[in-house]
Amino acid sequence: MSVFKVCSKVLTVYFVSLFFADLHAQSAANPYLPSLMPDRIILNVTADPSTSMAVNWRTSELVTESFAEIAVASADPRFTDEVKRIKAKSEKLEWEDTPTATYHSLVFDNLTPNTKYAYRVGQGDQWSEWIHFNTAGKTGSKFSFIYHGDVQTNIRSMWSRVVRDAYAKAPDAVLMMYAGDLINKANRDVEWGDWFEAGGFIHSMIPGFPTPGNHDHYDGPNGKNTTSVFWRPQFTLPENGPAGLEETCYYSDIQGMRFISLNSDQAEESDEYLEKQRIWMEKVLKDNPNKWTCVTFHHPIYSPKSTRDNKRMRETFKPLFDKYKVDLVLQGHDHTYARGMAKIPMQQKGAVSPTMYVVSVSGPKMTASNVEKATWMDRSALYTQLYHVITVDNDLLEFKAYTATGELYDAFDLVKQKGKINKVIDKIPQNVPEKR
Ligand SMILES: [Fe+2]
């Protein structure tokens, strides 16, 4: 063998071992490296999920073109003969030491309401399994949705049990809502990997309705508060919010309920974004043909924590919630559970609030700084991982809070009354003491 050949062999071995050493080091630090096979598959709501549905997925950067296929689902496996193939919008995400990946997204449109579809995503010989979802039904028909407070920490190890129990209780939920702080460090890929791993196939079957919290934001260029670099590539949410807050401030109408997401972190940090959202919120509440309205954001209007008070949010939005009789406000941030309505005054006339305010937590990060139960709370809990199933049937809304172990912890009904605020029927389970 010539000296040249020996040298080139040695160099080849050296570079190949470097490549594998690098791969090994990367996967040791991040077990969620992207590959040719799609992962992080997630459905998201559109403005009208009765006729459209959004989907996102991730691959390695080697994939520059990916597709989704969709058909009406059938037990006859030959449904695959009828598929429609759609090319995704694909964007490369390069961020500091995160493994570079391609994020793919598209919106299935012209769907039939109240119909089960089967879809898969991929390219070449790398495809996901066939996954089912249901389009929303018509206005007024009964439906359920799931609400989670902060997920944030120990996501794979401790939140997985919550999301799985929630799915077992309400597998046909029209959406899964997240009241912010989905993860702890906005741009840490491994935490998003944990979030997708914990929810697994549930993310790909029930559309997500996430609102960002403070931990989903970071200090961007020039110190400007910015939503995670992963947010827009990995979610496709309605772009019907104010300019500059696309996909974080938005709304969706489902079966007679208007679901609204506010970006409270941007509202807390910027006068401009607070005012933009106030103007937008008034319009969205005023021109609302739905019987029910549910608003979600991260920083609570009433805090269960004695050390916290989100005065800006309360002074800006509560007058609108009072005026337009918002039914339900679902929030996070305080790592504890509390809900109340009866003892909250309506800002203008001293009358009783038309809105039920709820704060909750689904992950294991807990707070102990609210040992004293605040007067606004009708039911509360400390050190309890929870999820919530809300069912709406015409004039009746049933709210159920379940612990991570599936026990009913709190419940109430809201009943629509003509010309009056909702009647509240407390259904706190008798044999379950308040966890304080
Ligand atoms: Fe928070």
d(CA 365, ligand 1 centre) in Å: 11
Q: Which has the closest alpha carbon to 215: 151, 300, 267?
A: 151
Q: What is the pLDDT of residues 388-399, one digit of tens each?
A: 999 999 999 999
d(CA 76, ligand 1 centre) in Å: 47
Q: What is the pLDDT of residue 10?
A: 53
Report which of residues 19 and 387 the model is more confident about. 387
Q: The tokens 């002074």 sit on which residue? A: 315
d(CA 152, ligand 1 centre) in Å: 9
Q: Which has the closest alpha carbon to 252: 69, 107, 354?
A: 107
d(CA 361, ligand 1 centre) in Å: 10
Average pLDDT over residues 371-391: 92
pTM of the predicted protein model = 0.93
User: Looking at the domain 39-134, which fold is it?
Assistant: Immunoglobulin-like (2.60.40)
Output helix, strand, coil percentages for the chain, rounded to the nearest 5.
25, 35, 45
* Integer CA distances (angstroms), 431 to 221, 278, 309, 379, in order: 53, 42, 32, 14
Q: Where are the domains of the chain?
A: 39-134, 143-426
Distance between CA 30 and CA 36 in Å, rounded? Answer: 17
Q: What is the pLDDT of residue 371?
A: 63
What phi, psi does 276 have (nearest 5°)?
Answer: -60, -40
Q: Which residues contact 404 (CB under 8 A, 6 or more apart)?
A: 161, 162, 165, 384, 385, 386, 387
Q: Which residues are placed with Cβ below 5 angstroms of ligand 1, an ion?
A: 181, 213-214, 333
Q: What is the pLDDT of residue 16?
A: 43
Q: Roughly what angle, to the nearest 10 degrees, separates helices 311-323 and 271-286?
A: 10
Distance between CA 371 and CA 382 in Å, rounded? Answer: 8
Residue 305's pLDDT band (cuts 50, 70, 90)? confident
Q: What is the pLDDT of residues 249-288, one digit of tens each?
A: 999 999 999 999 999 999 999 999 999 999 999 999 999 9
d(CA 426, ligand 1 centre) in Å: 28
Q: What is the pLDDT of residues 148-172, one digit of tens each?
A: 999 999 999 999 999 999 999 999 9
Q: What is the pLDDT of residue 1?
A: 52
d(CA 262, ligand 1 centre) in Å: 14
d(CA 3, ligand 1 centre) in Å: 63
Q: What is the pLDDT of residue 225?
A: 95
With H, G, I as helix, E, B as strand and everything else as coil, classify residue 312. Answer: helix
Architecture (CATH level 2) of domain 143-426: 4-Layer Sandwich (3.60)
Residue 123 confidence (pLDDT) above 60: yes
